[in-house]
Structure 1
Amino acid sequence: MTENAWPLVELRQYTLRPGMRDTMIDLFDRELVETQEDVGIRVAGQFRDESDPDRFVWLRAFRDIAARTAALRAFYLDGMPWRTHAPAARATMLDTTNARLLRPATAASAFRLTGQRPSIDAAELPKSRALAVIHHVAGDPAEFTGFFESRVRPALGLTPIGVYVTDPSPNDFTQLPIRTGPVLVWFALFPDTATRTTYLDTLEASPEWTETVLPDLNKRVSAPTEQLFLAPTSRSLLR
């Protein structure tokens, strides 16, 4: 399996019951990682949203849309692990509908899902931090992608670990709703919180960014840009 053999990605943001996030993460990392991967899903990342104590954000990847449908049916409808642990998982959840189906924006913009996942008994939390930025696209998604690649990416001052856009494939697993509004999402990793903060402060102080790129970007979006400040769990592959 090559490193970019998982081009189809779900970005899932769950709103949990107050105080239940650690319970959900403990259950997820212990019972719902390998059991999904056993049926053809690649669990790419699990994160605490540092801006919302009740939000759990995670990413999973698939080889293609047909493989996604087959894997989700195998896991949610036919498999024993979800039947066993679904009541405990659902007891932590308030809303799971904030989910997007994404594909790489370009041939070279997919995650490199290599490396070794920490063992099931891992407890140490990484110092690294992630940033996910969601642009809500107004107009033609292909034109926006071209604008991002030619104007936005060069001004960012870093190399994203992944850049994705909304995949237009029909959602054949309707038990899990998917939001269909066009977005472009880019992801970055930093060694720690301080480095991420310094990066954002430097970007906001850049005249090229604030005076040239950002005004043009804001004309091309249909809603305010979202920033997700993410802390990997002890078993997240992306870290």
Structure 2
Amino acid sequence: MDLARNEISARLASPIVELRQYTLKPGRRETLIDLFDREFIESQEATGMTIIGQFRDLDRPDIFVWMRGFEDMTARKEALSAFYGGPVWAEHRDAANATMIDSDDVLLLKPAWPGAGFDVQRLRRPAPGKVENQSENNCLPGIIEIQIHHLRRGAEAGFANRFETEAVPLLAENGMRLLGAFISE
């Protein structure tokens, strides 16, 4: 029983994460979000992906940010092949692509230290188009900040160690919660 729970926990923690930032045609973000909510979340999850979250960039109205996770690199390859070779993507890709200028800004990531991955086990996604009481329904409330630090090759381990030992306690002291910390896969 513990083995099954650990396997589920590993999948839900998403040890391999894609951070995707799409540049969209002006005014098309809500169109893509509606399509994404309606067609792409459940169909990607059916292939073994975990849709971690999707975000509206508050400073850039034509950017759509989203994250998806995978159990490992083999599962990623299989899930991507299944989704992009499947009927849902074939039916809706033209509509999705019509909203986009660029979809190539993708970072492939892994947890920066043991336990730094996302733990999404207790969270659930609100129904599309519904605004729910986030705290009662285990949704993340408020604003989520994503920071990207571009480092010289080889500097990741030192940066991750300093971030864990110095920055994470400061965040906690200021009432913030770290949801995850990642480095390049």
Shorter-chain TM-score bucket reads 0.7 to 0.9
SS of residue paired to 1:137: coil
State yes or no: 1:155 paired with 2:163: no
- Of the candidates 64, 77, 81, which is equivalent to residue 72 of structure 2? 64
Moved over 4 A (4+): none
Asked if residue 19 in structure 1 is aligned to residue 27 in structure 2, the reply is yes
Residues 203-235 of structure 1, C-alpha deviations (whole Å, 9 max, x = no match): xxxxxxxxxxxxxxxxxxxxxxxxxxxxxxxxx
- Give the length in aligned residue pairs: 165
1:33 is paired with a residue whose SS is helix
Distance 2:74 2:97 in 1: 26
Decide which structure has greater helix share. Answer: 2
Q: Check if 1:166 corresponds to 2:184.
A: yes
Percentage identity across aligned positions?
43
Shift of 1:144: 1.6
Contact 2:10 2:71 in 1 (8 A): no
Quote how far apart the aligned CAs of 1:118 are: 2.1
CA contact under 8 A between 1:4 and 1:111: conserved in structure 2? Answer: no
2:25 partner amino acid: R
Give secondary structure in 2 for the equivalent of 1:111. coil
Q: In structure 2, how many angstroms separate the alpha carbons of the residues matched to 1:132 and 1:4?
A: 22
- SS of 2:144's partner is strand
Cα distance, 1:92 vs. partner?
0.1
TM-score of the superposed pair, with normalisation by structure 2:
0.83
Contact 1:9 1:103 in 2 (8 A): yes
Residue by residue over 1:43-83, the C-alpha shift from the partner in whole angstroms, topping out at 9 and shown as x without a partner, is 11011110100000000000000000010011112x00000
Q: TM-score, normalised by structure 1?
A: 0.65
Unaligned runs of 5+ in 1: 168-239
Contact 1:16 1:54 in 2 (8 A): yes
Query: Which residue of 51, 56, 75 corresponds with 2:59?
Result: 51
Determine the structure 2 residue equivalent to 1:93: 100
Cα deviation code 1:77-98 (max 9, x no counterpart): 2x00000000000000000111
Indicate if the aligned counterparts of 1:4 and 1:113 stay in contact, CA closer than 8 A.
Answer: no
Q: Which runs of 5+ in 2 are unaligned?
A: 1-6, 135-140
Q: Residue type matched to 2:142 in 1?
A: S
